[in-house]
Amino acid sequence: MISPDDIAASRIVVDTDVVSYIFRGDTRADFFQPFLEHRTLAISFMTVSELYYGALKSKWGQNKIGKLENAIKNYVVLPYDYSVCRQWAQIRVQVEDNGNKMEKSDLWIAACALKYGCALATNNGRHFANVDGLSVICPSLPNL
C-alpha cells in the first residue's frame, strides 16, 4: 500500500471530491490527511469550477458560498495555460489510443497535476488510472 513517505513531491493536487470531503468534514477525508500534511495543497482551475457548479446546483445561499470561497483560499489554484492545454491533449490522445475514455474535467485536473509534477489525491482513482506518469493517491488503488 502506498504511504505518505512514498510521495516525494512537496505539492499535492487535490481532486474535487477530496476538497468536498474536507469542506464538509466527511470521514472519507481521513485517508488523505497523512498525505496532505506538511505539503502545499493545490487544486486545478477545473476543481474551482466544479465546486461552484455543485454549490449553485444545490442552491446554496451566499453565506455557504462565502465559506466555500474561504476554503478555496487554502489551496493554490493551478491555472490553465498553453502548456496545460498541450498536456491535456497529450493525455487525451494517450488514453484514447489505449482504448479508454476520460471525462474532460478529469483530463484538466490530470493535466495540471502532470504539468506541475504533483501527485493527485482522489477518491476516484479509476478515473485517472489510465494516465501515464500520474501518481494517484487513492484508497481503492493502493499500488499506484
Q: Could you tell me the CATH number of the domain that includes residue 69?
A: 3.40.50.1010
Domain that holds residue 81: 4-137
Q: Please say if the pLDDT value at position 59 is more than 50.
A: yes
Q: Looking at the 3D structure of the chain, how many domains does it have?
A: 1
Q: Assess if residue 60 is contained within a domain.
A: yes
Q: Please say if the pLDDT value at position 9 is more than 90.
A: no
Q: Assess if residue 32 is contained within a domain.
A: yes
pTM, 2 dp: 0.89
Contact 91, 131 (CB under 8 A): yes
Q: Assess if residue 142 is contained within a domain.
A: no
Distance of alpha carbon 105 from alpha carbon 117, whole angstroms = 19
Q: What is the pLDDT of residue 143?
A: 47
Q: What is the pLDDT of residue 142?
A: 55
Q: Assess if residue 16 is contained within a domain.
A: yes
Q: Assess if residue 103 is contained within a domain.
A: yes
Q: Assess if residue 143 is contained within a domain.
A: no
Q: Assess if residue 65 is contained within a domain.
A: yes
